[in-house]
Amino acid sequence: MTDNVVPLFKDPTTGTYTLPGDTPETPAAAAPVPDAVRRVRVWVWKRRARGLHAAVTSERTRTAARLVARHGLYVLGGTRITAKRAWDGRTGSRYERMIRAAEAAGNFEEAKEWEDRLTRFRAARHHRRMDLLKAPQDAVKSVAYGTGLTIGGLFLLGIVLAIAHKDASWILAPINAVIEAIAAIVHVGTAVWGPAVTIGPWLALLALWGVGRQRQTAPQWALPAQERDDSGAPITPSIVVTALRDLGIAPMRKAIKEMGDAGAAMLGPIRIAGCGVEVDATLPSGVSTKEVQERRRKLAENLGRHEHEVFITLPTAARTVRLWIADSGALDEPIGPSPLVTDPKAAANYKSGKAPWGQDLRGDAAALSLYQRHVLATGLSNQGKTAALRALALWLALDRTVEFRIADLKGVGDWDMFDGLATTLIQGPTDEHVIKATVMVEGLVAEMERRIQMPPGTVFTPLIGIVDEAQVAFMCPAVDDEKKPYGGSKATSRYFMAVRKIHNQGRAVDVLLWEGTQDPTDQNLPKLVREGAHTRVSLVLGTESQARMALGDKAVDGGAAPHLLRQDLDKGTVVVSSGGITIPAGQTSITVRTHYIDDEQAAEVADRAKALREGITTAHTVADADAYDPLADILTVLGTETRVLTQDVLKRLATLNGKAYGRWSFIDLKRVLDGTGAEPYKSEGRMVIGRDRLARVLANRPDTGSASAAE
């Protein structure tokens, strides 16, 4: 039989069997695909790919993906939070976190207190666990006793009922009633159990979802746009701690991470402060306050605020920064009119009063004392410097004892309302105006020196000199006949030396100088001059170096930042370093939003101040001390008044030319007028000088030059 078997051969390539000698059929070669068909296929695949890409990347798909991810992560986050809460309740992990947080913050006393609490918690937990070991046998005893007492009680109740009804069947009635009640409860439970088992997990899932949604456990990318935008959101401890953690300071990030949920322990209470909130943050060990101050913009962005809405200052506590965080947009709202405008009966007192200047960031009224304080106000051009300085002068003008001598080296009429109120008013930007301003300041020096030489205990009326745009005076190239420059910052400068003399001794005799200047530099505001001011005020500046010149290193290191104010948007906002204003403990400066008093309102306030005074003739020039004519000068200070008290004439002469007349007394005045026909005479019991008499004397006097030549 084996001879009749025909072997078959398997083709390994095709898997078919053939007889020996047969030639396997060669499959026909595949026909080539036409180019047109290939292009159509490529186009179809590209279209499908584009459609798939559009579907995947469309906003609707993204929204759906975010929706699924968000709510799923809410459930996961809620589960994690609930489990953590349960774990915290059963273990000492909460106490351990607080210990780590206190150690990270460097507060070892608090760490020891938490360690003591942990020890007490562990002791109480051990006591509870020991009680649980006895619980089974106690439970058996309790059940046995309870069952026996219950059955006995029901049996006694049945006996009472049987006696009452005279029927023995009532003996078991209470027990039967209890058995039926238990059966009914089991029946209801059996009916409810099925739906409860079905609904219960979903209710638990919903509860976990609610916890996760409340705590916002989904990442930012999964939140919808309206939920992701936290700009203007209320400030909470978690927001502040997260903002500090993400500042990019490695030691702080590490410490806060170790604190876990106890990170809020580094914060003091969040207090409502005006149009924002205030909170003190104690920094972890190894983190300096300067590092936080240098990251103000990043901190503001982390808090969902603009840079100008976050202020960082340093309180008295070590390693602590005080954050003031404005409500979103609150600093762009006006603060309202000045009390000088709204209260027609507003009064001033140079010695004991304070000028109602504006509001601090907390929304409290900010008032500045000007008693025996030199003032320096700086800032960029057109940011409200003159208006802020003028508001102080307008308040002080309501004290009738104060005399003003003003030089406005801008000369555009910002101080026009003081014409008839100030005894000297110079307005203009030229070198000639600088020369007059210099002579005016030298007159202040002469009056100061006269007062210093008066007998001890002499009471002086306040004399305030104001030089607005003082940088023009410092930069003036003009020189006098002796080749001494009026401007400059050297000892040869007449203006510089006059300012220095007033700064050195003026306050002791109530001769004060206020200056306003732009863009402080060593050239237009010398170091000795800026450091001589008791009250230093700065509006917005361009650089930190200018801020240091304006307010001093101590104020800037303590958080003063006028260079971070917004140009044009923060007009009238000033940073003040002065003992004359209430500054929070531990801080070196305060930010004030000043009231704006426009020219018309300023004129009304000035008119009220003028009504408090007798007629004042404002001199618009100042005579050079080395060339003067007493008779002509007396006629000048008499102005248009018919007669003037001799004591007022002496004051006005000292204002006109302090160097020449600063030390004059009534005897000097009488000596000059004796024999002229214009001698002082009595009117209503007081010595006066008549204008008409003196005018006739000068009209008939031969033109022989200055009377000072004969003196």
Tens-digit pLDDT profile for residues 500-517:
999 999 999 999 999 999
Confidence of residue 595 (pLDDT cuts 50, 70, 90): very high
Distance CA 658, CA 598 (A): 33
The residue type found at 6 is V
- Residue-wise pLDDT for 106-159, tens only, equals 677 878 888 888 888 888 888 888 888 888 888 888 888 888 888 888 888 888
> Which range among 64-68, 603-607, 690-694 has the greatest average pLDDT?
603-607
C-alpha closest to that of 284 among 305, 318, 255: 255
Judged against a pLDDT cut of 90, whether residue 631 lies above it is answered with: no
Pair of tokens at residue 134: 């006895």
Percent of the chain with pLDDT over 70: 89
CA pair distance 699, 462, nearest whole angstrom: 36
Task: Measure the CA–CA gap between 643 and 534, rounded to whole angstroms.
Answer: 40
Q: Is the pLDDT of residue 13 over 90?
A: no
The structure's pTM equals 0.60
175-194: per-residue pLDDT in tens?
A: 888 888 888 888 888 888 88
Neighbours of 701 (CB within 10 A): 13
Q: Confidence class of residue 1 from pLDDT cuts 50, 70 and 90?
A: very low
The confidence score (pLDDT) of residue 105 equals: 65
pLDDT (tens digit per residue) in 536-558: 999 999 898 999 999 998 888 88
Residue corresponding to tokens 């008119």 = 607
Q: φ and ψ at 350, to 5 degrees?
A: -55, -40
**End-to-end Cα separation, the chain, in angstroms:** 168
Given a cut of 50, is residue 706 above it in pLDDT?
Answer: no
Residues 6 or more apart whose CB falls under 8 angstroms from that of 580 comprise 354, 368, 369, 370, 371, 373, 534, 535
Please say if the pLDDT value at position 652 is more than 90: no
Strand partners, 320: 282
- Helices 93-104, 108-165: axis angle to 10 degrees equals 160
The separation between CA 271 and the C-alpha centre of its own chain, rounded to angstroms, equals 14
Whole-number pLDDT of residue 25: 53
Task: Check pLDDT > 80 for residue 289.
Answer: yes
* pLDDT value at 628 more than 70: yes
pLDDT of 361 over the 70 cut: yes
Is the per-residue pLDDT at 45 higher than 70?
Answer: yes
pLDDT digits (tens, 9 = 90+) for 386-439: 999 999 999 999 999 999 999 999 988 899 999 989 989 999 999 999 999 999
Sorting pLDDT into bands at 50, 70 and 90, what band is 229? very low
Kindly state the DSSP code that residue 365 receives in the 8-state scheme.
E
pLDDT confidence of residue 711: 39
Write out pLDDT tens, residues 236-273.
Answer: 888 888 888 888 888 888 888 777 666 777 888 888 88
How far is C-alpha 58 from the chain's CA centre? 43
Query: In the structure encoding, which two tokens stand for residue 482, read together?
Result: 């002796």
pLDDT of the residue at 500:
94
Is the separation of the CB atoms in 393 and 404 below 8 Å? yes
* pLDDT number for residue 154: 84
3-state SS record for 36-66: HHHHHHHHHHHHHHHHHHHHHHCHHHHHHHH
Determine which of 47-51, 150-154, 578-582 has the lowest per-residue pLDDT on average. 47-51
Coil, helix or strand for 711? coil
Reply yes or no on whether the pLDDT at 602 is more than 90. yes
Going through 409-502 in order, the beta strands assigned E by DSSP cover 424-427, 463-468
Confidence of residue 14 (pLDDT cuts 50, 70, 90): low
| Averaged pLDDT, 18-39 | 61
Beta bridge partners of 511: 463
pLDDT band (50, 70, 90) for residue 76: confident
Distance CA 550, CA 528 (A): 12
The pLDDT assigned to 606 comes to: 93
- What pLDDT was estimated at residue 5? 53
Mean pLDDT of the chain: 83
Q: Are 575 and 589 in contact (CB under 8 A)?
A: yes
Q: How confident is the model at residue 704 (pLDDT cuts 50, 70, 90)?
A: very low
Judge whether residue 446 has pLDDT over 50.
yes
